Amino acid sequence: MQLAMDPNDSETMSYLVRMVIPLKREFGRSLNVNQFLHDLPYAREVVEEALKSKDERLRTYAAYMETKVLGPRNSGSSSPKEASAAKPAQPAPAATLKKEVELSDDLRAQAIARYRSGLR
């Protein structure tokens, strides 16, 4: 079964790529992004596993992917009653997103410092 998702969606790809390392560290699982985008059972399995993570960021990414990829059209609910009973995922807290931006800014600054120190 294939997902109806555009692989060129940069936000979705960004979240998927961010999930690769935490999944590998915590669960020893290698995330195949291409398979995730085209194989619904595989995508469900990965998202369910990531939602059980101890890492808050990974759970946030998984919740986003659950709503984006496994949303109402692809939820697999057999009846509208089951679909309405499903609890919507919580959006990413602003504090978590702010930490990510700060972390990415710090990493960028470190890379620039390494680059400059290598110049002669």
Instruction: Quote the pLDDT of residue 103.
Output: 67
Q: Which tokens is 64 given? A: 């986003």
pTM: 0.53
Residue 47 and residue 104 share a domain: no
Please tell me whether residues 40 and 11 are part of one structural domain: yes
Residue 97 pLDDT level (bands cut at 50, 70, 90)? low
User: How many domains is the chain partitioned into structurally?
Assistant: 2
Asked whether the predicted pLDDT for residue 6 surpasses 60, the reply is no
Tokens of 3: 């997902």
More confident residue, 28 or 107: 28
Closest listed residue to residue 45, CA positions, set 54, 35, 55: 35
pLDDT category, 49, cuts 50, 70, 90?
very high
Residue matched to tokens 């759970």: 59
The answer to whether residues 48 and 107 belong to one domain is: no
Contact 47, 62 (CB under 8 A): yes
